[in-house]
Structure 1
């Protein structure tokens, strides 16, 4: 069996070292692209994990998965229907193994329409703020690009508009973003795509990392505000880089406190808890902005599964504790004999 795509080679594993609680070694099988493996399984992380008894083993995609292991946890991020079927079958036949995360739940985030559906009807009004999504329009693959201006006008959406590919498949194209200053230029874009109203947010984005019960917030620079005067001066569609993955953090910058203040902790805790439950996922991140001129109006603009956790401060300790907690929780649920 050989799956398409660049993957980590089979048979790799870290050195076997100490054991963890109750003298037990935790074996984590991983199936990751080479790029994800490099960014996530950094030496600082694997060394810390090994010292606490966590043993990482690469899954060999040339061999049947049931013949490998045994595993306590499987960590995966590969695309393709074949892999989804393999991991889902394994999940059904090996309930004793924790899968991070169920493939059907992950698939929910591969479409920008279904991705944000779980945010729309959240009622977080008692949590020191309001969370919504920008007004948006879905343009299907079958749609004639020349009809997009008409569809935008019909919905009454306000310019400028952010255009994003509808499907999130891990490719570079899936993260191409465009800013449209007039609706007629939208006919230059290729469906399927999502159009979102641009919300002025002071040029700052909050990346909210969720790892189990842990919430970590990182500030990133984003697109500056756009005034009506600027809007009248420009036309066309402009491509801009994937803002949320920029390496430059805004955490140490001298920023206006009214813009830079983190979303209220009670709001984030409720949002994380609700999305963990609704999405059925334990490790993801939320891209959130605060509407400029407000203190408590927020918009979720993207949700990503297994993002670049290697850029999250203190991720080594957070993930080590998370993995150990998963196994400890599983052990507590086992019936005594």
Structure 2
């Protein structure tokens, strides 16, 4: 089993051992070993499973007593487990009803995350309204209104004048294009932890270009770009991360308003300024596999959920 040519034979054996340990049968209920600390039931798309449940995460999780168990979508969720945590990222009204019913029947289980909060992020208008309501900055490129994980929902276009807007297909959300030095800050939130990664983004648009060009320019999908700018030789004014107090307040308020613990915020700094930032997108359960040290951050977060649950139990 060669994984992107990155590991040798000895590591392959360790990975296989981890995966075999993780492969529990959940038919007829889940038998929990005495040494097991935490059982995470997961319902993820095949794409999310591949990007998130990487061998390094599974091995580290097993060493910490965390075991990932696939949820069988063909069977009632309440008949499976028992789970300490349910991790999910599936779309559709039926699944939302299933997970919400499960949350009501099993308040002792940490469900990541509530479907109402997730649905809130599926509409860019309501999503960005939460940021505007914080009154942290003026939040003002055209994007599809609905965020459903499809390729179309990530299309991005730049309209050079108001007449070009007729070329775009609604529903969509309009945002003012802000020159930002071609750098995007991806702010990953995992519970209380905040991790910032720089990514290359769209280039600046000069006034000369605006005067000469009309119509609509359709950008390639920016959010899935894997080119990290963390090691790039950038000007200090472009490379400097957003202030930590701003990120902490933004993350704290969005956690409170949305009830989510797993999300990321896409931010840009207006080119030529030091303290003018714009939030351009919020995503539920983003591509954590691209976040440095995500294995340690995520497993520590899962363990903290169990610790907080035990603290809430009344003394006997």
TM-score under structure 2 normalisation?
A: 0.88
Using a 3 Å threshold, how does the CA distance of structure 1 residues 238 and 16 change in structure 2: closer, same or farther? closer
Q: Is the 8 A contact 1:207 1:217 kept in 2?
A: yes
Q: Report deviation, 1:23.
A: 4.6
Cα offsets for 1:48-68 (capped at 9, x unmatched): 001100010000001111110
Map of 1:25 onto structure 2: 37
Give me the whole-angstrom Cα distance separating, in 1, the residues matched to 2:74 and 2:212: 57
Are 1:303 and 2:282 an aligned pair? yes
Q: Which shifted more, 173-182 or 115-124?
A: 115-124
Cα offsets for 1:114-152 (capped at 9, x unmatched): 00111113245xxxxxx4422xxxxxxxxxxxxxxxxxx
Q: Which secondary structure does the structure 2 equivalent of 1:251 belong to?
A: coil
Aligned positions, number:
288
Give me the whole-angstrom Cα distance separating, in 1, the residues matched to 2:308 and 2:101: 23
Cα offsets for 1:19-48 (capped at 9, x unmatched): xxx954200000000000000000000100
Are 1:330 and 2:309 an aligned pair? yes
- The RMSD of aligned alpha carbons is 1.4
Q: Is the 8 A contact 2:180 2:270 kept in 1?
A: yes
Q: Which runs of 5+ in 2 are unaligned?
A: 1-18, 24-33
Map of 2:256 onto structure 1: 277
Query: Among residues 21, 29, 36, which one is paired with 1:15 in the alignment?
Result: 21
Q: How does 1:213-252 map to 2 (within 5 A)?
A: 213-252=192-231
Q: Is the 8 A contact 2:269 2:277 kept in 1?
A: yes
Map of 1:109 onto structure 2: 121
Give me the whole-angstrom Cα distance separating, in 1, the residues matched to 2:286 and 2:315: 38
Q: Is the 8 A contact 2:22 2:69 kept in 1?
A: no
Map of 2:86 onto structure 1: 74
Q: Which runs of 4+ in 1 moved over 3 A?
A: none
Q: Report deviation, 1:95.
A: 0.4
Q: Which runs of 5+ in 1 are unaligned?
A: 1-12, 125-130, 135-161
Give me the whole-angstrom Cα distance separating, in 1, the residues matched to 2:48 and 2:133: 33
Q: Is the 8 A contact 1:207 1:218 kept in 2?
A: yes
Q: Is the 8 A contact 1:165 1:175 kept in 2?
A: yes
Q: Report deviation, 1:188.
A: 1.8
Query: Among residues 79, 94, 97, which one is paired with 1:85 in the alignment?
Result: 97
Q: Which shifted more, 268-277 or 103-112?
A: 268-277
Map of 2:3 onto structure 1: none
Q: Is the 8 A contact 2:179 2:204 kept in 1?
A: yes
Q: Report deviation, 1:185.
A: 2.2
Give me the whole-angstrom Cα distance separating, in 1, the residues matched to 2:67 and 2:199: 33
Q: Is the 8 A contact 2:22 2:68 kept in 1?
A: no
Q: Is the 8 A contact 1:119 1:132 kept in 2?
A: no
Give me the whole-angstrom Cα distance separating, in 2, the residues matched to 1:24 and 1:33: 26
TM-score under structure 1 normalisation?
A: 0.83
Map of 1:56 onto structure 2: 68
